[in-house]
Structure 1
Amino acid sequence: MDQEALLVGRTLLKRGIPTIPFILASQALEKLAYFGLVPNMILFLTVEYGMGTAEAANILFLWSAATNFFPLVGAFIADSYTGRFPLIGFGSSISLTGMVLLWLTTIIRPECDKLTNVCQPTTLLKSVLLYSFFALTAIGAGGVRSSCLAFAADQLQPNQTSRVTTSSLETLFNWYYFSVMVACFLSQSLLVFVQTTYGWQIGFGVSVAAMALSVALFFAASPYYVRFKCESGLVTGLFQVLVAAFRNRHVDLSSEEHIISYHHETGSSFSIPSQKLRYLNKACVTTNSKQDLALTGNSRNPWKLCRVQQVEDLKSLINVIPIWSTGIILSLVTACQVSFIVLQAKTMDRHTFIQGFEIPPGSYGIFLVISFLLFLGLYDLVIVPLLSWALREPFRLGVMVRMWAGYVISVLCISALAATEYARRKTARDESGTKLSAMWLLPYMILGGIAEALNTIAQNEFFYSELPKTMSSVATTLSSLNMAAASLISSWIITIVDVTTYGSWITENIDEGHLDYYYWLLVGLSLLNVLYFVWCKKSYGKCSI
């Protein structure tokens, strides 16, 4: 981003910081609208569209993958072409359009044969509307989620001479994630309850209303936002390194380092590239300074000669990829099983101590959110202070230790779910009319929340500290890519399991299948992931935090 801001508005007092609540409220409502649709979507597809369980789950996995991948694409577009404000506006409007299309599917009556009174579960028009909803909301998420937090941070810097303090950024980040958690809480409780009690038409209508309010709030403050010009971004620089290294592949790096000249900026912290991933060093080797460099000292062709800093940035990103990949299985265990858990909860006894009240099947994910928040507060406010007092010195678990603990707990988490499913199925088949209490799902939810709290935050700290400050935006996007990759892998696993078992594990009636076998398969993958993480940690070496 260029440091010259295009300030919009009439007075300084009406720009910048006062607009942040509009941005945070807008993104919270977007999360509320989106996550309010996710839990019960498996029921909507199987009941209203007549899809099989495996087919519906695959569609939802692909939707989740696209929704979590497009923010990376959006970040590149915002940084290099459009800027953040236009992309957020476009993304939120597209998401609203998609949700309206989904709502329209609930008011289209099915086609019925008057003689036989048999109705088709879906029509071509309803299918077009449904898949258009999936596509538009995924694209819209790429616009909103790639730029919302960064755009809010822009409001803290109303001109090129001001500097954002660490405390201001920390406060902004805390309020951002707090608003996200509140949105998740309300979506999995209030919106799911409305859908379950009053039907799809009213339930989806609430999401449409929330998304419409999100769009209105965002554009309401548009005259007063701080906006920045955009130029060629970091992602372009990373691709330049790859292209330049390939074009200079014949350069010999076997000579002594002091003989080889490397292109670097004056005053840069990197004048000579590191020896890790040495092949990439060819991208910054100056073979003929008069031919390669302009009078200003800049490269004449950045696609043939890059700066040392660009090379080191790409190396840093490549080095953290193995550690990043270990988070895929955790996301697969805790986030990608929502659809199946809804199906399980639907067949279980969901009564509570409140007479006549049942917890909706899609609301059980709220216990994972509560577990996440409670453990986070307990760790920061109780465990760390107590251990610091007992040890007479500041206590802090390193990021690698917390990641490892999160992966170990994820094994226990999915094991608890497998055992619960075995008991649920056995009770349903052996004791006709008897249902296992849905409270047996709580161990999975509690352990899943703890695993996420330990691992997710530790991974974010690791990426933010290990990647260069110029790549902070990339660091904050990596966690969503974990979910995208996990969703794709989940889809592949479901397809492979369905084909190899001839549909005997994952069936339309889960009482007749073996969903517990599928969960035990995930237990095995989680165990392998713990060993894989240990190897990645040893290969990476010492980290800075």
Structure 2
Amino acid sequence: MDRSLSADPESKISISGARKRGSWITFPFIIGAFACLTLAGAGWAANLIVYLIEEFNVKSIDAAQISNVVNGGSNLVPIFGAIVADSFLGSFSVIIISSCISSVGLVLLALTALLDSLRPEPCEDGSSLCQTPSKLQYAVLYGAFVLASTGMGGSRFTLATMGANQFNKPEDQGIFFNWFFFTFYFVSLIGATAVVYIEDNVSWGFGLGLCVAANFIGLLIFILGTRLYRHDKPQGSPFTGLARVVVAAIQKRKVLLSSKSEDYYYDHDTKPKELAAPMSKRFRFFNRAALKAEGDIKPDGSITKPWRLCTVSQVEDFKTLIRIFPMWSTSIFLATPIAMQSSLTVLQALTMDRHLGQHFKIPAGSILVIVLISTAIFLTIIDRFVYPLWQNLTHKSPTPFQRIGVGHVLNVLSMAVSALVESRRLRIAHAQHHQDQGSSVVPMLALWLFPQLILVGIGEGFHFPGQVALYYQEFPTSLRSTATAMISLIIGISFYLSTALIDLIRRVTDWLPDNINEGRLDNVYWVLVVMGVLNFGYYLVCAKLYKYQDVEKVVDESS
């Protein structure tokens, strides 16, 4: 196994010491730390809605909204973490800082469960008048959410990047990623079942205390491997170069464009005879960013003012992102119904019979693990059976667009099934209301929620890998390390959009009251079906018009 360290003129470690850094010797420390940190995050995030309702007297829809905001934040943070790691601190420092932040947040969250002064008085049985949390209690609670979600998001994908950087060979990196995602699904499953069960049936303090312990152990395991890691040096974020394209193009907006290649800046090592084809004319406004002007270049060929002149490759990279943006936006509207469904399904489960036998009751926060299980199972089935069958029938491998398209269809079917199941639940709830005024639990098994969650899981098995493949293939080379993190960005934005959509529905309809037995949640799901169909049509148009990036050469789109 090659354990050599990439040449680094500024490295102060000896060659013999460098050879001992990186490779598989670091695997137990990185994957062990990731497992513990994931367990800590899944243990509190999966049961967040139930905690807010039962311990803080938050109304059901409001609890779902808070959960969406927290989940959205934890999925947006990885992008900022990647930028900070690439530009300033490096992956190691970002992981350490993020883990410490999440530790503080989890300690605060555990204290809200352990100290009565940090929680409102519990509601009396049968009473609709419950004490709301004080400003101090809200401040501690929300502060804990911010710190815990920020720390969790900051370490999650940064650990993946650092782990892959320990290897030189692509096949070793591929094996690492396989273990990374297996660990993520397996440990998330444990957190969303075992830890959630402890929180519901033993005590919230003990369950959240386990999350604190897991986070601390993960941080300790990571620190123990410090002397073995290959530390990546910050190279500067590629997003800075993209921002420079916009600024430079605006500054030169009045400059006339040229059709000559030599009038554009490639880089100071490129000779005129080696110039590539002329810049593409698509989105040609941004070509001005690479147009050379007097005073832009130093005598040695380097740029005088980086925010006034960019290279042709930076401009073309920026155009590539613009080209893929419509396709990327369809994924946001694909994930938004899933985000809404995840929180609303927990509320449905709280009103249904969750018993399996006489002695076991499914925690409401654990109901969503069906998505994780079905995704994990069908990823194998899709890879081993569906794709080979597809290839035998069509003599071609399915394209990323086709995989994502199947995910769109399954997503619409899932929302339709959700609407039908909710219609049945409401009929039973209304029939029960006329017979028994006292019970809010509908005599309908929560197992009825499984089909819709299984369909979501199968859909994710198609569209998430398809999106990763598409972004990795189409994104500029300088942004390929960020391409996989785009999934996290999509999920984060979708949670915020789902929050806004739920709020809009509550404002203009009476479908989502605090007691969903008195509302029309089935209508909400039908709205998501319509949105899914429209978004699928939008997706088909984008896929039809999209032209794959030619990775072999620069194409002159003006021809």
Instruction: Indicate whether the TM-score tops 0.5.
Output: yes
Match of 1:97 in 2: 104
Q: Calculate the TM-score normalised by the size of structure 2.
A: 0.88
Match of 1:397 in 2: 398
- Do structure 1's residue 385 and structure 2's residue 388 form an aligned pair? yes
Higher deviation after alignment, 259-268 or 220-229: 259-268
Distance 1:405 1:63 in 2: 29
The answer as to whether partners of 1:39 and 1:339 remain within 8 angstroms in 2 is no
Higher deviation after alignment, 295-304 or 455-464: 295-304
Match of 1:420 in 2: 421
- Do structure 1's residue 516 and structure 2's residue 527 form an aligned pair? no
Aligned in 2, Cα 1:258/1:131: closer, same or farther, shift over 3 Å?
closer
Q: C-alpha deviations, 1:87-112, integer Å up to 9, x for none?
A: 11000110011011000001121566
Aligned in 2, Cα 1:317/1:542: closer, same or farther, shift over 3 Å?
closer
Distance 1:461 1:403 in 2: 10
Match of 1:292 among 283, 291, 296: 296
- Do structure 1's residue 537 and structure 2's residue 543 form an aligned pair? yes
Aligned in 2, Cα 1:6/1:70: closer, same or farther, shift over 3 Å?
farther
Cα offset, 1:335, TM superposition:
3.5
Cα offset, 1:36, TM superposition:
1.8
Q: Residues 146-295 of structure 1 correspond to what in structure 2 (within 5 A)?
A: 146-156=157-167, 164-253=168-257, 255-257=258-260, 260-264=263-267, 266=269, 270=276, 272-288=278-294, 291-295=295-299
Partner-residue secondary structure (3-state), 1:273: coil
- Do structure 1's residue 107 and structure 2's residue 114 form an aligned pair? yes
Q: C-alpha deviations, 1:427-477, integer Å up to 9, x for none?
A: 122145761121111111111011111111101100000112221122122
Partner-residue secondary structure (3-state), 1:66: helix
Match of 1:159 in 2: none
Higher deviation after alignment, 511-520 or 443-452: 511-520
Distance 1:269 1:426 in 2: 71
Cα offset, 1:390, TM superposition:
6.2
Match of 1:350 in 2: 354
Partner-residue secondary structure (3-state), 2:511: coil
Match of 1:83 in 2: 90
Structure 2: give runs of 5+ residues left out of the alignment.
1-5, 437-441, 552-559
Partner-residue secondary structure (3-state), 2:147: helix
Structure 1: give runs of 5+ residues left out of the alignment.
157-163
Match of 1:70 in 2: 77
The RMSD of aligned alpha carbons is 2.5
Distance 1:11 1:132 in 2: 43
Q: Calculate the TM-score normalised by the size of structure 1.
A: 0.91
Distance 1:24 1:417 in 2: 36
The answer as to whether partners of 1:53 and 1:506 remain within 8 angstroms in 2 is no
Match of 2:474 among 463, 466, 469: 466
Distance 1:111 1:259 in 2: 71
Distance 1:536 1:7 in 2: 51
Distance 1:524 1:506 in 2: 18
Match of 1:332 among 333, 336, 339: 336
The answer as to whether partners of 1:429 and 1:511 remain within 8 angstroms in 2 is yes
| Counterpart code for 1:426 | R
Partner-residue secondary structure (3-state), 1:342: helix
Q: C-alpha deviations, 1:167-202, integer Å up to 9, x for none?
A: 111111111111111122111211121112112111
Q: C-alpha deviations, 1:240-297, integer Å up to 9, x for none?
A: 11111111111212x5345744433545885632222111110001133xx3222332
Match of 1:364 among 350, 363, 367: 367
Match of 1:45 in 2: 52
- Do structure 1's residue 15 and structure 2's residue 9 form an aligned pair? no
Cα offset, 1:38, TM superposition:
2.1
Distance 1:167 1:6 in 2: 27
Higher deviation after alignment, 534-543 or 79-88: 534-543
Match of 1:499 among 507, 519, 530: 507
Aligned in 2, Cα 1:270/1:366: closer, same or farther, shift over 3 Å?
farther
Partner-residue secondary structure (3-state), 1:299: coil
Cα offset, 1:3, TM superposition:
6.0
- Do structure 1's residue 313 and structure 2's residue 306 form an aligned pair? no
Distance 1:226 1:407 in 2: 41
Distance 1:265 1:224 in 2: 38
Distance 1:106 1:339 in 2: 22
Distance 1:37 1:447 in 2: 25
Distance 1:361 1:527 in 2: 29
Aligned residues: 526
Cα offset, 1:329, TM superposition:
2.4
Match of 2:556 in 1: none
Find runs of 4+ consecutive structure 1 residues off by over 6 angstroms.
Answer: 7-10
Cα offset, 1:142, TM superposition:
4.1
